[in-house]
């Protein structure tokens, strides 16, 4: 690897095409940080950070500050910035800020793959698959709302859907699942995601209420810190329980696995600190017989591509649609990632590095803040 000589940070924002209701409220827009690294030979790499107070405890401002003042100055001093050693160096420098670290890791992997002329999936062990089904998320709401969206997306080739829950009474969500299954039968496949929205009592009621359903799994029904509650629910439920907000670091994953608190891990490249850290979580899960589901954080195309490159290499993926629809839900995205989704299926590109085209001028038009960091300092 050649030295990195310049880093450009862009804070970008886009509206959702359709507002999205989750446990914490109605989402109308999302922000992210795009990171451009340039090495001394002019090779560029792109990374993305998707901070969320709900998921990672850091804001866009927190992640931007960590990049500008701590991580990027350290990176620019590295003579041989290989992605793995840099990940370890940044972990030694600061315990958390996984989204900020992940942006650097993605960009370095992009550069490394381009310099070697291979895709990032090759750097992580090689692709086991070229295509995956894509799910479509459904806002927390009513079965009638769901049916309108399901019918629209089914016509576009989607057959896997995530039901957001946790903001309505549990009995209403049970009835919602029942009605959808009666209406569609095996034509669609469903998962339920409560985003920590239930108490132990509510979660147990939901598990009992949907016991006869074909739900594939139930995602993060309890607070991320309630490992004991998750373990008890996982034993009680015939439907697998998945951990999302509870799985940020490798240590989190190990605690959940040890306590048999989840049968599925929700993997997110930004939340988990980039593809290499996420790959370690997936490998730990494999050792415990836990399957992995590739999820997203309202992402633009760079993080989506990083997750796709990782997903191609993970042997213990859950047999279900994965969250590669994020850019399709945004009013604009400065990458060509959306072009890879056809008829409800995502296809891994063949190009070197991330295999992604990023329109720098589009990034600049979207930016509500930008910073340059060089060895001489940040501005």
pLDDT of residue 375: 86
Residue 43 contacts residue 111 (beta carbons within 8 Å):
yes
pLDDT of residue 287: 98
CA distance 17 to 33: 20
pLDDT of residue 18: 87
Residue 195 contacts residue 245 (beta carbons within 8 Å):
yes
Residue 165 contacts residue 197 (beta carbons within 8 Å):
yes
Residue 150 contacts residue 7 (beta carbons within 8 Å):
no
DSSP letter at 356 equals -
Burial (CB count within 10 angstroms: exposed 0-12, middle 13-18, buried 19+), residue 337 = buried
Mean pLDDT in runs of 10 for the chain (379 residues)?
Answer: 97 92 82 98 98 87 97 97 98 95 98 98 98 96 94 97 94 97 96 96 98 96 98 97 97 98 98 98 98 96 98 98 98 98 98 98 98 83
pLDDT of residue 20: 75
CA distance 181 to 189: 9
CA distance 36 to 8: 5
Q: What is the set of domains in the chain, with CATH numbers?
A: 4-117+359-378 (3.30.390.10), 122-347 (3.20.20.120)
User: Which of 276, 351, 311, 313 lies closest to 117, judged by CA?
Assistant: 351
CA distance 208 to 95: 39
Q: Are strands 341-342 and 345-347 parallel, antiparallel or unpaired?
A: antiparallel
SS3 assignment for 211-267: CCCCCCCEECCCCCCCHHHHHHHHHHCCCCEEECCCCCCHHHHHHHHHCCCCCEEEE
In Å, how far are 29, 194, 206, 225, 241 from 229, measured between CA atoms? Answer: 33, 15, 14, 9, 11
CA distance 18 to 34: 23
Phi, psi of 336 (to 5 degrees): -100, 20
Count other C-beta atoms under 10 Å from residue 42's C-beta: 8
When computed from its CA atoms, the radius of gyration of the chain, rounded to whole angstroms, is 20
Task: Kindly tell me the sign of the dihedral angle through the C-alpha atoms of 358, 364, 370, 376.
Answer: positive
Contacts of 127 (CB under 8 A, 6+ apart): 119, 121, 312, 313, 348
CA distance 102 to 87: 8
pLDDT of residue 379: 65
List the Cα angle 109/338/47 in 5-degree steps. 25
Q: Is the pTM of this model over 0.85?
A: yes
Residue 189 in 3-state DSSP? strand
CA distance 62 to 2: 28
pLDDT of residue 55: 76
Q: Please state the separation of Cα 306 from the chain's center in Å.
A: 9
């Amino acid at each position: 690897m050649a030295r990195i000589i310049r880093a450009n940070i862009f804070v970008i924002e886009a509206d959702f095409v359709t507002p999205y209701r989750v446990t914490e409220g109605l989402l109308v827009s999302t922000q992210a940080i795009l990171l451009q690294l340039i090495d001394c030979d002019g090779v560029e790499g792109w990374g993305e950070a998707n901070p969320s107070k709900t998921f990672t405890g850091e804001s866009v401002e927190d992640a931007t500050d960590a990049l500008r003042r701590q991580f990027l100055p350290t990176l620019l001093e590295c003579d041989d910035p290989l992605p793995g050693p840099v990940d370890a160096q940044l972990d030694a420098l600061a315990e958390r800020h996984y989204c900020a670290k992940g942006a650097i890791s993605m960009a370095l992997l992009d550069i490394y793959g381009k310099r070697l002329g291979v895709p990032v999936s090759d750097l992580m062990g090689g692709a086991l698959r070229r295509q995956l089904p894509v799910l479509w998320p459904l806002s927390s709401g009513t079965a009638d709302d769901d049916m309108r969206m399901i019918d629209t997306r089914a016509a576009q080739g989607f057959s896997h859907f995530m039901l957001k829950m946790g903001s309505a009474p549990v009995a209403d969500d049970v009835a919602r699942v029942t009605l959808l299954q009666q209406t569609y039968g095996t034509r669609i496949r469903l998962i339920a995601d409560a985003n920590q929205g239930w108490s132990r009592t509510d979660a147990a009621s939901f598990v009992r209420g949907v016991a006869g359903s074909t739900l594939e799994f139930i995602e993060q029904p309890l607070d991320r810190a309630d490992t004991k509650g998750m373990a008890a629910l996982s034993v009680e439920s015939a439907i697998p329980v998945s951990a999302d907000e509870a799985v940020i670091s490798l240590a989190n994953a190990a605690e959940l696995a040890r306590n048999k608190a989840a049968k599925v891990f929700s993997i997110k490249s930004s939340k988990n600190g980039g593809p290499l850290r996420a790959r370690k979580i997936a490998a730990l899960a494999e050792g415990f017989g836990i399957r992995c589901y590739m999820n997203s954080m309202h992402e633009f195309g760079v993080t989506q591509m990083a997750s796709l490159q990782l997903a191609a290499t993970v042997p213990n993926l859950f047999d279900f649609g994965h969250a590669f629809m994020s850019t399709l839900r945004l009013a604009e995205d400065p990458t060509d990632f959306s072009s890879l989704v056809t008829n409800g299926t995502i296809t891994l590109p063949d190009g070197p590095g991330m295999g992604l085209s990023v329109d720098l001028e589009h990034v600049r038009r979207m930016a509500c803040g930008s910073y340059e960091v060089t060895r001489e300092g940040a501005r």
